[in-house]
Amino acid sequence: MRILSRVAVLAVVALALTACGGEDDSPGSDSPTSATPAPSRGVPSGVEERLDSPAGVVVGEEGRIHVVTYGSSTNPAIVRQASAEGQTVTVQVSAVEGRPATMDYVPTTSTFDLPEGVDRDEPVTFVLGDFGTVELEVIEPGNQAWVEREE
């Protein structure tokens, strides 16, 4: 009897999940992707944690930009959007408003591609919202800049 009820529950769940999709849903849709497909806990490989800074920018392989923020592990500040005007990249970084946050202090990394039009061989300024501003001399893998904490 238990097996029969489990099978019935599985069937109901499967039916409910198939009802969630629509005819227009497809894995290859043209909808825009988020700036950060999957923010991750921690710092990028090869980067040391910097507890003396609330945020920083690290250039990864192939020129991908990693923004590291420190704060709550349950509601971390992540990259929502990045745009450029000249050599200034404005990065919208925020936690989810109204969501509870723990009082711990852990790094979270968001990754995005450098916006088009930014010259990788010239200094680039990154405005990280309320965290502050940093500048990289060139966009080269391994380069990093950290916001200086106000005392």
Asked if residue 80 is part of any domain, the answer here is: yes
Asked if residue 125 is part of any domain, the answer here is: yes
* Among 30-34, 52-56, 68-72, the least confident range: 30-34
With 0-12 CB in 10 A as exposed, 13-18 as middle and 19+ as buried, what is 67? buried
Q: Does residue 56 carry a pLDDT above 60?
A: yes
Q: Does residue 80 carry a pLDDT above 80?
A: yes
Asked if residue 46 is part of any domain, the answer here is: yes
Number of domains the chain contains: 1
Asked if residue 24 is part of any domain, the answer here is: no
The verdict on pTM exceeding 0.85 is: no
Asked if residue 4 is part of any domain, the answer here is: no
pLDDT at 17: 39
Q: What backbone torsions phi and psi does residue 130 show, to the nearest 5 degrees?
A: -70, -15
Structural domain boundaries, residue 111 = 40-146
CA atoms within 13 A on the CB side of 135: 7
What is the number of other CB atoms lying within 10 angstroms of the CB of residue 109? 23
Asked if residue 74 is part of any domain, the answer here is: yes
Higher-confidence residue of 90 and 3: namely: 90
Q: Does residue 16 carry a pLDDT above 50?
A: no
Asked if residue 33 is part of any domain, the answer here is: no
Angle made by CA atoms 151, 135, 110, in degrees to the nearest 5: 85
Asked if residue 8 is part of any domain, the answer here is: no
Q: What percent of the chain has pLDDT over 90?
A: 70
Confidence band for 35, pLDDT divided at 50, 70 and 90: low
SS3 33: coil
Higher-confidence residue of 104 and 13: namely: 104
pLDDT at 38: 80
